[in-house]
Amino acid sequence: MSQRFTPQFRLRNRVHVATKKTFASLEIFVTLVTLLTLPLLSTTGFASPTPVRYNAFTNARNFNSTELDSAWVKIELALKRYERPGAQPVLLVHGLAQNDRIWDSRIERFSFAKALYDAGYDVWIGNLRNAGTDGFRSDGFKTGSPWSVEDYGISDLPSLIKTVTEATHQKPFFIGHSLAAWAIEAYLSGLQFDRSGALQYSESAARENTKTISGIISIAGAYSLSWPVSFPSVISSSEEFYQSNYEFEIASKIPGVFWGVRQLSEIPLDWVESLVNLPLEQVPVIGSMLEKWYGDLEESITRTPLLSLFFYSKNSNLEMVKEHAKDGMESMAPKLIEQLANSLIDQEPRTYFKRSLFPFIHAEAKREECFSYADLRKANRLPILFIGGEKDRLANVEMIYHEGYLKSKSPDKTFIRVKDSGHLDIITGNLAKTQVLTPIIRWLGSHSSH
């Protein structure tokens, strides 16, 4: 029997053909768009964001000035923003001798900031005074670096936090690495300078400052300087090596080191970049051979005691370390080094004081005039997440647990111990996204209203 082509059948057939042509055209269009935009997509499947600079202004105390009216200098601080309007803002702040590069590696898969952005957050990276990469550098003083942890907490952090809040109309979460965890305590404790530069405590300032952030994430925070294996104990295993820091302990006990540090306007670290990025390929004839030889040497350098202070070699990508050294290291302020040494000697972090070159002379009186951060820390009731790396030779994980987590009076506190992570690679290392970023995103999600 032959099939009858009724008008209804012909209409359905035309619709079917037209539909097939439409889908074919749409498929071609989608394919073309994908091919054209593929080079712009990151490895995560999102277009790589472009950071925007924001400026914050603060009045900084100038130790070098002998005139009261010129003892305060207005400086401009820089923030790098990966903008996601309406999303929960997070403010990332670096530690000692670092800048925004620690959060935002040139190698995209090691960029902590971009990973947070991809997770849906409005990401801000704050550069403390005299720190920052090209285009995002904060001002310093024309002569020297005369500041302490208190200068960061009283002058720099309030301006950075205020800038984020005013731009987003939201309170940010503060994520601090290393010394930034100490500086945020100075901010939250309500410490202030009077006009002459003398340090004072204000309970009302502490209450107001606490209202400006939603919570704290402390990564490799400096709450004291102490290690389970202390000099002169004998190190008998690799595990004990990562529980020690003989280098700092011995240096802090030598009076000449204090004297030498005080003579410097700053302690430069630009030699690190020169060391790990020698242009050997430019040497005629033997350049390629030297480059291979030095490349092998660099692999071993990351395993030396010096580099082990900053990186755990098994968690560190050599190219990431070399890229970080190009512009991620900053000169150190001598007063900060002295303050860290005081903390190591006294086994307690205090506000800055000038220790006698001979510790048995007047040291006790000067120390007692200072504020103890262990006491100030008790006032903080904000939610806080503590994170420490088991291979960190600067901020020992046991110190973070005992001096930070256990002594915190926050009713909402969490501690995470990260295996196979050192001081810097806890943020930039191979395991950072799975062992550090993932629990951070989970914690933020449980504490954010978004």
Domains and CATH numbers, the chain: 52-230+329-447 (3.40.50.1820)
Q: Of 229-243, 356-370, 373-387, which gets the smallest average pLDDT? A: 356-370
In the sheet that holds 52-61, the strands lie side by side as 52-61, 72-82, 122-126, 89-93, 173-177, 215-219, 384-389, 413-418
DSSP secondary structure code for residue 38 in this structure: G
Spatial contact of 74 and 59, defined as CB atoms under 8 Å apart = yes
| pLDDT in the model for residue 261 | 74
Taken as a whole, the chain contains a residue count of 450
| pLDDT > 50? residue 30 | no
Number of neighbouring beta carbons within 10 Å of residue 249: 18
| pLDDT in the model for residue 2 | 42
What is the mean predicted confidence (pLDDT) over 316-325?
88
Pairing of strands 72-82, 122-126: antiparallel
**At residue 230, what are phi and psi to the nearest 5 degrees?**
-110, 150
| pLDDT in the model for residue 91 | 98
Name the helix (H) or strand (E) containing 60: strand 52-61
Q: Rounded to whole angstroms, what are the CA distances from 236 to 107, 267, 307, 399?
A: 37, 33, 20, 21
- What is the pLDDT of the chain when averaged over all its residues? 82
> Comparing C-alpha atoms, which of 111, 84, 90 is closest to residue 444?
90
The reply to whether omega before 279 is within 30° of 0 (cis) is no
- Measured between alpha carbons, how far is 59 from 156 in angstroms, rounded to an integer? 8
Q: Tell me: the pLDDT tens digits for 211-257? A: 999 999 999 999 988 899 988 888 888 889 899 998 888 888 787 77
In terms of pLDDT, which residue wins out, 228 or 17? 228
> Comparing C-alpha atoms, which of 382, 439, 391, 437 is closest to residue 413?
382
Spatial contact of 269 and 330, defined as CB atoms under 8 Å apart = yes
> Comparing C-alpha atoms, which of 95, 175, 106 is closest to residue 128?
95
Residue 409, judged by CB atoms within 10 A of its CB (0-12, 13-18, 19+), counts as: exposed
| pLDDT > 70? residue 373 | yes
Residue 254 in tokens? 């030598």
What is the mean predicted confidence (pLDDT) over 175-199?
92
DSSP secondary structure code for residue 61 in this structure: E
Instruction: Kindly tell me the sign of the dihedral angle through the C-alpha atoms of 407, 335, 105, 280.
Output: negative
For the ranges 62-71, 77-86, 266-275, the one whose mean pLDDT is highest: 77-86
In terms of pLDDT, which residue wins out, 295 or 149? 149
Residue indicated by tokens 């002569």: 143
Q: What percent of the chain shows pLDDT beyond 90?
A: 52
- Measured between alpha carbons, how far is 151 from 60 in angstroms, rounded to an integer? 7
Q: Quick one: pLDDT band at residue 357, thresholds 50, 70, 90? A: low
